[in-house]
Structure 1
Amino acid sequence: MSFNPLEHRGIPLDRQVRSWRELNVEPIDPDHCDPYTRCRVITMNGIEVEAIMFSHQLARHTKDPEVKRQLARTRYVEAQQQKAVNWLLPGVSSVLETTIAYEQVAVDLTAWVARMEPDPYLKQAYQFGVLEDFDHLYRYANLYEMIEHRKAEAIVDGLTEVMPGRPTRLHHRNPVDNVRDPYDRTRTDPLSKLHALTILSAEQQTMNFYMNTGPTYMEPIARQLYQEIGLIEEEHVTHYESLVDPGETWWEQLVNHEYNECYLYYSFMEQESDPKVKALWELHLNMELEHLHIACDLMRRHDNRDPAEVLAPELPNVLTFEPNKGYLRELLATQIDLTTLGAGYVREAHERFEEMQAQIHGGEAAPSDRVMDQHQEVFGRQYRLETEGEHPVAALPENQ
């Protein structure tokens, strides 16, 4: 059934503020929940954080006090939404367990978006990035077994494979080669705008998470691995944010943010298996419908344009968390040796890439390689979770 958010009014804004009792949501059970419920929670936290930070940036770039006040009213509700969503995560999970869940989000969310993306250039950007997140999941899974003596299988539940992707040590590139060409806001499919904003928000959340949690570990190898992958997440945010057309006005960006929140809450409401979480997605959708209408009014007033000019006439097919094993194996077999050059991709190492590799590694093994060496010493093997036969890349162990 088609659903056009512009045709529905949500809960009036003055009825959206909730009490502490209402915000005190019951967290999901980490031992019995659907892993993709956890993935949806993590995704929506990233989306809400991006919405809040964008609103702050817009407020800092307008002189109109009434606009500032309107943004503040909506933003406070967004902040309550973010707290309710993020507090669904159980406090009993360790940082590493949450990290592995974050990387499962990155793998299956980005893979799904890559499969559905209509623009070939944007599709390639997602395909390139997902092979790096895939390897991050593998490195953290080995660290998890080594430090906490548990297996990532308990978290990903066989939905996502855990095996080598593009080796993490090769993700360090000259910063200029992380900047992609933007889509053309006047010509691109509205779905492409939603994809770009979604993946940017998810990767930004992961970058922020590693920035703050990395030094909470005592084990040197854990601190080093979070530091290395945290730097790569910064590269990923650069990679994805540069896909967005900088010619979009502040008001156009605002309605895109609110429309994307409607899209994702609607998508997750449609597929959620946990009744309590599903009810929260539905509640937040009805809040976001009103936020969208407020943003549209601001765009009409300050941009003198109809938001229907830039938004899809109805929501696209629901964004779905599902296994992407076959798709990822195909990418591993065909794109593992790619790196970036300018706004494009090449298969051969080039001067800027080699210089960056020499600078960052300094002739030493990267933490992502050392964690594998230490795991091998302890267990005599590497931790993997492969469900469909041998790894498709024949160049192992070099690519590990």
Structure 2
Amino acid sequence: MGFNPLDHSGIPLDRQLRNWRELNVAPIDPDHCDPYTRCRIITMNGIEVEAILFSHQLARHCPDMDVKRRLASTRYIEAQQQKVVNWLLPGTSSVLETTIAYEQVAVDLTAWVARMEPDPYLKQAYQFGVLEDFDHLYRYANLYEIIEHRKAESIVDQLTEVMPGRPTRMHHRDPVDNVREPYDRSSANPLSKLHALTVMSAEQQTMNFYMNTGPTYIEPIARQLYQEIGLIEEEHVTHYESLVDPGETWWEQLVNHEYNECYLYHSFMETESDPKVKAIWELHLNMELAHLQEACDLMRRHDGREPREVLAPELPNVLTFEPNKGYLRGLIADQLDLTTLGAGYVREAHERFEAMQEALMGGEAAPSDRVMERQREEAGREYRLETEGEHPVAALRERG
């Protein structure tokens, strides 16, 4: 029997407020935690941030004072949840270590979504994007060795390979070519809606993280790489947010957000290996069940529709963080040379793509390439973690 969040009331909203002692959770131990526990934390932080930002946007467009007050009440609890989740990350980890974990999230979350996505067009969007995140992980891992003289396997723990994907310098496209066609809200599989919202939220949080932490570095090479990849994350947010049907009403979007939070907290509660963190996922799930009921009531009142008309009748199979090495190697071998043109994909560079490359590069190497040049100069080799054999593309195999 599946789990349908609509059939559960959760913890009443007036009993969800937590005090400072309850909010001040102990962080995970970065040296002994399951890397996928850290990935789940980073993912849920992005999901909570998106829920808060969406609620603020809805409130700014809503003249009804009662609705604004109801949104404010739920949003404050969401903000407490976000603080608890994000504060699980340890202060002993450097920004660059957290960055590598962010990219591990982007790789294995997006790869899993691509594997499970039922719509071919949406699947292609995730397959395209994940090859760029894969290359970002490789660039940051080499920067990590340059600056901190440590290796990324201490973070990704053999679960995710570190090697070239689609070269980062090739990710810079004309903005109009980052806009994809949206799914049709009236016919889309409910799982497709959850996927789009999840990946969009995760990429948005990555974009925000890089734009805020990049300038905290002293080293010019680090500042430059964060600036380059931060701009690509802007492209990715545009890429993924455009998949969501803009015809969804505010109220439909609200219930989709709350339902997705239930889905993810339930998924992570079912798969979490750390008992302390698992208890937080369970508590937050029971809070979100009440938030979903509140959103459903607002939809009935202001949209005149029953939420069951637009939501899945039960949660799909749990979203799982797991290695995707073989799947990613297959994509690298088959799709590395793709770029976008309009809302589609092509294998040849075109006028807009080449103009964007020329405008940004100006005949100079991109920061992502300069990182690799410096790593080879200082260490005599690149940093890679190729656990499944040599790179599937001969041209990208490490130089002897």
Q: When the two structures are superposed, what TM-score results if normalisation uses the length of structure 2?
A: 0.99
In structure 1, give the amino acid aligned to 2:347: R
Q: In 1, distance between residues paired with 2:236 and 2:171?
A: 10
Q: What is the CA-CA distance between 1:394 and the residue it aligns to?
A: 1.5
Residue 44 of structure 2 is aligned to residue 58 of structure 1: no
1:311 & 1:181 partners in 2: Cα distance?
21
CA contact (8 A) 2:13 2:287 kept: yes
Aligned to 1:97: 97
1:88-167 equivalences in 2 (<5 Å): 88-167=88-167
Q: Give me the whole-angstrom Cα distance separating, in 2, the residues matched to 1:335 and 1:239.
A: 17
Write the deviation string for residues 110-163 of structure 1: whole angstroms up to 9, x where unpaired: 000000000000000000000000000000000000100000000000000000
Corresponding letter in the other structure for 2:75: R
Q: 2:196 maps to what in 1?
A: 196
- Write the letter of the residue equivalent to 2:353: F
Which residue does the alignment assign to 2:81?
81
Map residues 264-279 of structure 1 onto 2, 5 A cutoff.
264-279=264-279
Per-residue deviation, 1:91: 0.2
- Separation (CA, whole Å) in 1 of partners of 2:236 and 2:388: 29
Partner of 1:211: 211
- The equivalent residue for 2:286 is 286
1:354 is matched with 354
Write the distance in 2 (CA, Å) between the matches of 1:363 and 1:190: 46
Q: Deviations over 1:211-260 (max 9, x none)?
A: 00001001100000000000000000000000000000000000000000
Partners of 1:297 and 1:218 in 2: CA distance: 50
**Partner of residue 6, structure 1:** 6
Give 3-state SS (helix, strand or coil) of 2:72's partner. Answer: helix
1:396 deviates by: 2.2
Q: Given the alignment of the two structures, is residue 20 of structure 1 paired with residue 20 of structure 2, yes or no?
A: yes
AA at the equivalent of 2:330: E
Q: Distance in 2 between matches of 1:396 and 1:154?
A: 24
Query: Counterpart amino acid of 2:290?
Result: E
Seen in structure 2, the aligned counterparts of structure 1 residues 274 and 398 have a Cα distance that, compared at 3 Å, is closer
Amino acid at match of 2:367: P
Aligned pair in 2 of structure 1 residues 363, 398: CA closer, same or farther (>3 Å)? farther
Q: Alpha-carbon deviation of 1:397?
A: 6.1
- Unmatched segments (≥5 aa) in structure 1: none
Tell me if the contact between 2:391 and 2:397 (Cα under 8 Å) persists in the aligned partners.
no
Alpha-carbon distance between aligned partners in 1 of 2:73 and 2:40, rounded to the nearest angstrom? 26
Q: Secondary structure at the match of 2:182?
A: coil
CA distance in structure 2 between the partners assigned to 1:212 and 1:62 by the alignment: 30
Deviation track 1:352-394 (CA, whole Å, cap 9, x = no partner) reads: 0000000011110000000000000000000000101000011
- 1:75–1:194: structure 2 CA closer, same or farther, 3 Å change rule? same
**Equivalence for 1:393:** 393
Instruction: Sort the Cα spacing of 1:280 and 1:205 in 2 relative to 1 into closer, same or farther, 3 A.
Output: same
Counterpart residue number, 2:236: 236
1-side partners of 2:395 and 2:381: how far apart?
Answer: 18
Q: d(CA) in 2 for partners of 1:267 and 1:333? A: 31
2:226 aligns with 226
In 2, Cα distance between equivalents of 1:173 and 1:56: 31
CA distance in 1, matches of 2:152, 2:266: 30
Where does residue 374 of structure 1 map in the other structure? Answer: 374
CA deviations over 1:94-113 (Å, ceiling 9, x no partner): 00000000000000000000
Q: Distance in 2 between matches of 1:5 and 1:215?
A: 42
For residues 79 and 389 of structure 1, the distance between their equivalents in structure 2, rounded to whole angstroms, comes to 44
Q: Which residue of 1 aligns with 2:170?
A: 170
Secondary structure of the residue that 1:395 maps to in structure 2?
helix
Gaps of 5+ in 2: none
Distance 1:280 1:235 in 2: 33
Query: Aligned partners of 1:8 and 1:212: how far apart in 2?
Result: 38
**Aligned ranges 1:36-55 → 2 under 5 Å:** 36-55=36-55
> SS of the residue aligned with 2:37?
helix
Percent of residue pairs bearing the same amino acid type: 86
- SS of the equivalent of 1:345 reads strand
Displacement of 1:395 in angstroms is 2.0
- Aligned-partner Cα distance in 1 for 2:257–2:393: 39
In structure 1, C-alpha distance between the alignment counterparts of 2:240 and 2:261, rounded to whole Å: 18
**What letter is aligned with 1:334?**
D
TM-score (normalised: structure 1): 0.99
- The offset of 1:398, in angstroms, is 10
> What's the C-alpha RMSD, in Å, of the aligned pairs?
0.9
Give the Cα–Cα distance (whole angstroms) in 1 for the partners of residues 62 and 226 of structure 2: 37
State the number of aligned residues. Answer: 399
Work out the CA distance in 1 between the residues paired with 2:223 and 2:398. 24
Alignment partners' CA distance in 2, 1:395 and 1:163? 13
Task: Give yes or no for contact 2:144–2:150 (8 Å, CA) kept in 1.
Answer: yes
Runs of 4+ deviating beyond 6 Å: none
Deviation by residue 1:177-205 (Cα, 9 ceiling, x = unmatched): 00000000000000000000000000000
Distance between the aligned counterparts of 1:286 and 1:44, measured in 2? 15
Superposition pairs of residues 316-355 of structure 1, within 5 angstroms: 316-355=316-355
